[in-house]
Chain A
Amino acid sequence: MKKSVFFGSLVLAGLAAGVAGASTLDDVKARGELICGVNPGLTGFAAPDANGNYQGFDVAVCKAVAAAVLGDPMKVKYVPLTGETRFTALASGEVDMLSRNSTWTFSRDTELALDFVAVNYYDGQGFMVNKNLGVSSAKELDGATICIQTGTTTELNLADYFKANNMSYTPVNIADDAEGQQKFLAGACDSYTTDASGLAASRATMPNADEIVILPEIISKEPLGPAVRHGDNNWGDVVRWSFYALVAAEEYGVTKANLEEVAATTMNPEIKRLLGLEGDMGAKIGLDNDFAKRAILAVGNYGEVFEANIGASTSIGLARGLNAQWTQGGLMYAPPFR
């Protein structure tokens, strides 16, 4: 960080406004560092560990892209973004990409000029209640008090759902997940509603976890995915196919551990194209042919990333559900590498 840059940029500010628009891929390569917008703290998806290094399911996407573009998953600068600042930070060029559990919606895709390149986690809003309440379905929550985060899509979904089912509720407004969990445990509300992944993580840490149930109804679709600026399609392709490389790798059974072995022995042309042994795939998006191989080696395939951060082996213990491969009845479906 240079002081003179501060002064210089102040002066240049007026002159150079609007120069933005050069290719993000070239910027990232020239900088030698990917700037990735992440959640400042969401269990399992993005959070700094005791040494200050970001870890998580969303963070793995940043690492995969950095490995594909720069050859090193560590060359990422993580910018923690709040719900209010995330889209503006991307639009103004402060970050190269967003991997921050953002729901892909019509207006965000169009009006906010974002491009969601893929879906890395299919989430949905659910309800958590205490068993004592004697409720086994969200349809029985008529008249309940519900803890709800203000200013989020979950608030709107909740209102829609209760209206559609002709029920009423009393909202208890909370500011963040920690407060919601605390209020729910203290009995300030009958039910706590947020994304099902968040509910599962909260439940795992509650002292009376056996008495808490997550109701079966999922009342919204929350496809969460990485996003880039609208208009820089080449950069969008880079992020999209770096991610799909991980999904495809799982489908074809390529893991971090067996990658070299598979590369040496495989006869499957699709795998060969994925790993850069055939077809000039990398060159078509401005990278070299090993980009997918590097991404997989950096973080593992999609299934490995899932298991390591939020899967059944972690204390969060999320099931694959909708996020299983399409061959396993899920929605993870990488377009062909051809």
Chain B
Amino acid sequence: MSNTSFVRNEMLPPAPPPVSQTGLVKWLRENLFAGPLNSALTVLGLGAAIWLIQAAAPWLLHSVWVADSQNECRAIVQERWGPDATGACWAIIRARWHQFLFGFYPMEEYWRLFVTFAGLLLAILPVLATSLPRKLLWGSVLYPLVAFWLLWGGSVWGPILTLAGFGLWAAVFLALQVRLGVVVAAGVGLIVAAVFWIYGVDPIETGLQSVLPFALPEVDSDQFGGFLLALVIGATAIVISLPLGILLALGRQSDMLIVKSLSVGFIEFIRGVPLITLLFTASLLLQYFLPSDTKFDLILRVVILVTFFSAAYIAEVIRGGLAALPRGQYEAADALGLDYWQAQRLIIMPQALKISIPGIVSTFIGLFKDTTLVAFVGLMDPLKGISTAVRADINWKGIYWEPYIFVAVIFFIFNFSMSRYSMYLERKLKRDHR
């Protein structure tokens, strides 16, 4: 009987991991072929992707950038890639890109658009990046008037006097706030400012203009179009609807019966009606109530209703944020002896807004895309209005996909940046340890 027990006295040499557990194969197994269902879905997805690429790639690869008409595009494609080849005709974009971007704004005034856009970026910088000095925010507040003057032109005194009206409002508010309270003081200030705007601005403007003439050539609203129009409507509505939405959300939570019912009525009415209905109201119905010789600008009418529309949605998003705040936050504010507006400004709103960021930004993105609906009231939006107008040129008639793709790419850039910024903001403002 021999002792055959075996004792290993040296270590096994380290072996590489099995093929199935490493590198690409592991990744494929885990992510694409983790089971029969996943494998089937992967194959189907791959098939769809290949089919799409096969359909679109030759068309995209055979792009023509320089041509005077669609027929010329076709001739070039057939000459270069054979008689049956089809290709994208981007020459339409090359010939008309300025109309897709700026509508029918006079070409010699394009510099004003560039200045306005650069100003927009400068103006939102202090709002977006909190590390910059807070005093720069005053520039952002003044920017809309500057932009208005640059875009529409006319006498420089108009915007300055409008600004003076706001100054008047602020002065009245500050003088009366202590005695009458925030809301009444703001109301009286608004009335004083409105009287000034209606009866004061015109004569003073005419007077100042004759003494110190300084004006840009006027550009009419119907010359606006394309992304200029989308940005004017979108940016104005975004900027005004946020504060309006906050007020409506607070109004809806208020204990005061009239304020509460007005806010609820406004929000529910606007949310219950499709945007197109509101646009038709703006474009058609309002004109019946106005004297036939008034020129109540169509863009302004549309901006007002789009703002209302978006404010109603923002109000509900913010109400969600308010509802998510624990009761203790309100009580803590009361315990510190803060009054209603102080509590809102210092304690409630910063938290409620932070919670609402994703909802607010997605409302804004939706609003920006909804600006293309103004095509239904005859405004030249980039997607339908300008595309139809450009296609009506016999040289470009029949071109279908190219304008849509061009407009979609630009919309994507705008909306993707907004979405990325909101995610950055969420991360930055994160205070909990979840």
- Chain A residues at the B interface, C-beta cutoff of 8 Å: 1-14, 16-17, 19-22, 27, 31, 39-44, 46-52, 77-82, 84-85, 88-89, 92-94, 176-179, 181-182, 185, 201-202, 204-207, 314-316
Contact = CB atoms under 8 A, between A and B. Distances in A.
B321 interface: no
The 5 tightest CB contacts between A and B, nearest first, are A41-B392, A52-B104, A47-B392, A93-B292, A20-B292
A259 B207 CA distance: 48
A7 B297 CA distance: 11
A1 B394 contact: no
Q: Main SS of the interface on chain B?
A: helix
Interface residues of B, number: 62
Contacts of A13: 286, 289-290
A224 B302 CA distance: 31
B284 A204 contact: no
Contacts of A41: 388-392
B198 A4 contact: yes
- Choose among A11, A12, A20, A48 the residue with the greatest number of B CB atoms under 10 Å from its CB: A48
A43 B376 contact: no
Contacts of B292: 19-22, 27, 92-93
A275 B158 CA distance: 46
B103 to A, nearest CB: 8
Interface stretch (B28-36, B125-133, B215-223, B417-425): B215-223
Interface stretch (B10-18, B238-246, B377-385): B377-385
B393 interface: yes
Contacts of B159: 3
B411 interface: no
Nearest to A21: B292
A88 B288 CA distance: 9
B412 interface: no
Given A50-B96, A52-B104, A93 B287 contact: yes
B307 interface: no
B293 A1 contact: no
B162 interface: yes
A254 to B, nearest CB: 28
Given A1-B154, A48-B389, A82-B375, A201 B380 contact: no
Interface string B207-230: 000000000001011110000000
Contact of B197 (A4, A22, A52): A4
Nearest to A207: B74
B201 A4 contact: yes
B316 to A, nearest CB: 27
B287 A4 contact: no
A43 B284 contact: no
Contacts of A204: 394, 397
Nearest to A80: B378
Contacts of A4: 158, 197-198, 201-202, 205
Contact of B376 (A7, A84, A201): A84
Contacts of A314: 394
A3 B393 contact: no
Contacts of B387: 178
A205 B388 contact: no
B291 A16 contact: yes
A41 B399 CA distance: 14
Contacts of B289: 13-14, 17
Given A1-B220, A85-B284, 8 more contacts: A2-B154, A2-B202, A9-B295, A47-B392, A77-B222, A89-B283, A181-B400, A206-B398
